[in-house]
Every structure is written in C-alpha cells, then in structure tokens.
C-alpha cells in the first residue's frame, strides 16, 4: 500500500469517527432538551394543580359557609320557610358533593379528607334540622310478599320496648336512628325516593330479603345481612358494609368500606376507590341496575355517572405489592347478573 492510499484511509476513518461523534453530540443534546421539556411540563402541572386546589378550596369554603348560614336560619322559623330552606340546602349539598367529586383529580389526600369530613358534618346538620322540622313517622316497612298480603288484616306488631343500641360501622354511628329495615326474613322490602332522599339509611339483620331503595340517600349502612339482594340508587357519600354473607349488593356511591364480609357480589359504581378489610370471596362488577328516575337521582347525589372505579379495590389485609389480593375478584362477564326484577 503506498503512502497516498494510507493517507486516504486515514482521512476516511477520521471522517467516520467525526460523524459518529457528531451524531452522539446531537443525540445527547436532544435528550437534554427533551428532559428539560419534561421538567418544564411537570412544573407547569404542579402549578396548575396548586392553582386549581386553591380555587377549589376557596369555592368550597364559600359554599360551605353559605350552607351553614342557611341551616342556622332554620332554627325557630315557621314550617313553610323551613321546608323551603331545607330543600334549598339539600340541593346545595348535592352541588357541594359534585364539586368535590369533580375536583379529586388535583386534590391531595389530606384536602380530600378535610372536605369529606366537612360534608359529613353538614349532612348531619341537615338531617338534624329536617328531623326537628318534620319528625319521622313511626317505623314501618312495605312488603309485597304473599304472606304479608294475607296477614294485612292482622294488628300491627308492637314497637320495640327500647331503641336499638348504637352500632359502630367503620367509626360511624350506624344506628343512631331507627333502622329502616331490621330483623326481617323472606320479604320484598322497598323505600321510595321521598322516604330516603338525603337521609342516612340503615338495614340490619335481614335474611333472604330482596330490598329496593329508590332515590339518593346520604349514606347507606348494611349490617348482618345473609342471603339478601340489596339494590340502591346513588348514595351521595359512603356505603358501609359489615358482616354480610352470600348476598348480592348493587349501588353507586362516592366511597365503599366493606368489613367482615364473605361470598358476596357487589355491582358497584364508585368515584373514589373501594376498600375491603377482613373479607373473603367478594366479587366486583360494574353497577347495572336501572329504574325510571336513576338519572335524576344521579344528579341529586352529585356523583359523576361517567366516572366508575369499580375494579380498583384496596384490601387492607393484603399488603404484597404487585400480587393480587386473594380476597376479592372481578366477576367474569358471563357470570354477571343482568336481570334484577323480583
């Protein structure tokens, strides 16, 4: 090889190396630019989230103050004015719940808990004001069973000698009022929207009953149910389930807490995340019950009908990251219940 060829190859090799070095420099610059852009977007998102959080808190606190003032004005007012104000307060409660539901994507967990606690206190004040202005009628239940129809002429059962003891469900006083249905077997039980709207509803110690709750209660407590089918309209805040076995439950809600429950199917619409604890054999599927005023009740509840986290379940007894909990499953589509009429 002569000197000219060696020089030519050396120049060619040098050009290739220079080209590779240039490509590496360009690629590195692109990566640096992309990283800087991602960091910029992240900062912008944090800023937007912070600003959105501030806007939410300002709006929420203003609406809450207005609602508290409205409820305080019910004390000592005439019945007509109280009835009007309570209807307005219930509508504002639904708007406030919807504001929270729509804002959860940019709120942190602490802000969500504080807002939920404020809503629960407001709901308790609303229920207390309603009770003072319009005392509830004595406890009754409706039944379509043939046995009940045959016994319709019989004298009504005597009321219990003493009110039931207060039962704690997930820290909430579930029976601070008379249960809506209690200690009943083998019957079809119903409540209308007028009977449960914006109320705390309690079902306890039912066996082989079919329950239909039409309307939008504030909370729903289900305790000691066996072999029951419970269908409920949109629940504005939380559903608490405790000691239920071999049952089928269906409801929309903002939050679900389930304890000590086994071999039960839950057809769920939930806008946060479902929580189970000390449970086994619980199956989940999307809510599929329907009735004529369901859309209206969704609107009254403040829940988002297009936001359903039915398959996002947290098991407090299962902390193995990356491994599914053995205590709950998704019900296969072929096995899901589609016919609900009794």
Q: Which of 183, 177, 189, 178 has its CA nearest to residue 139? A: 178
Nearest to 297 by CA among 76, 94, 17, 101: 94
Q: What per-residue string of b and e applies to 278-312 under the rule 16 or more CB within 10 Å gives b?
A: ebeebbbbbbebeeeebeebbebbbbbeeebebee
- Tokens of residue 116, six digits: 């939920």
For range 142-166, the mean pLDDT: 45
CA distance 339 to 342: 9
Q: Where are the alpha helices (DSSP H) in the chain?
A: 3-72, 79-103, 109-133, 146-150, 193-196, 294-301
- Determine contact, residues 159/183, Cβ cutoff 8 Å: no
Structural domains in the chain, CATH included, are 3-133 (1.20.58.1250), 142-153+163-335 (2.160.20.70)
Computed over its alpha carbons, how large is the radius of gyration of the chain? 29
Q: Which residues, 6+ apart, have CB-to-CB distance to 164 below 8 Å?
A: 175, 178, 179, 182, 204
SS3 at position 232 = strand
For 70, the token pair is 């409205």
Q: Give 209 or 169, the one with higher predicted confidence.
A: 209
Residues 6+ apart with CB under 8 A from 122: 64, 67, 68, 71, 93, 96
> Global pTM?
0.54
Residue 160 confidence (pLDDT) above 50: no
Average pLDDT score over the chain:
79
Q: 128 or 293: which carries more pLDDT confidence? A: 293
pLDDT value for 152:
47
Is pLDDT larger for residue 14 or for residue 37? 37
The label of the residue with tokens 């019989």 reads 154
Non-local CB neighbours of 172 within 8 Å, separated by 6+ positions: 219, 221, 238, 240
């Amino acid at each position: 090889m002569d000197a000219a060829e060696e020089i030519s190859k050396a120049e060619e090799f040098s050009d290739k190396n220079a080209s590779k070095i240039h490509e590496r420099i360009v690629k590195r610059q692109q990566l640096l630019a992309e990283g800087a852009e991602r960091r910029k977007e992240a900062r912008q998102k944090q800023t937007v989230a912070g600003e959105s959080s501030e806007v939410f808190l300002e709006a929420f606190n203003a609406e809450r103050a207005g609602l508290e003032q409205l409820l305080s004005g019910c004390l000592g007012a005439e019945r007509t004015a109280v009835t009007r104000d309570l209807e307005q307060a219930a509508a504002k409660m639904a708007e406030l719940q919807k504001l929270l539901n729509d804002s959860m994507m940019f709120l942190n967990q602490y802000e969500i808990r504080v807002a939920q606690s404020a809503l629960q206190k407001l709901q308790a004040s609303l229920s207390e004001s309603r009770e003072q202005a319009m005392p509830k009628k004595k406890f009754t239940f409706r039944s379509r069973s043939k046995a009940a129809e045959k016994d319709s002429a019989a004298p009504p059962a005597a009321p219990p000698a003493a009110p039931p003891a207060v039962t704690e469900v997930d820290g909430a006083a579930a029976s601070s009022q008379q249960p809506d249905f209690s200690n009943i077997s083998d019957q079809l039980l119903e409540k209308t929207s007028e009977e449960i709207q914006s109320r705390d509803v309690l079902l306890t110690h039912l066996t082989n009953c079919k329950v239909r709750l039409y309307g939008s209660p504030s909370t729903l407590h289900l305790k000691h149910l066996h072999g029951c089918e419970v269908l409920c309209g949109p629940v504005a805040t939380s559903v608490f389930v405790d000691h239920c076995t071999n049952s089928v439950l269906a409801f929309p809600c903002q939050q679900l807490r389930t304890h000590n429950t086994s071999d039960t199917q839950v057809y769920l619409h939930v806008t946060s995340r479902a929580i189970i604890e000390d449970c086994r054999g619980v199956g989940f599927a999307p809510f599929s019950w329907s009735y004529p005023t369901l859309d209206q009740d969704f609107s009254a509840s403040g829940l988002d009908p297009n936001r359903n986290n039915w398959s996002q379940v947290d098991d407090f007894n299962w902390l193995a990251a990356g491994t599914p909990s053995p205590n709950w499953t998704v019900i296969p589509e072929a096995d899901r219940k589609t016919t609900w009429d009794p």
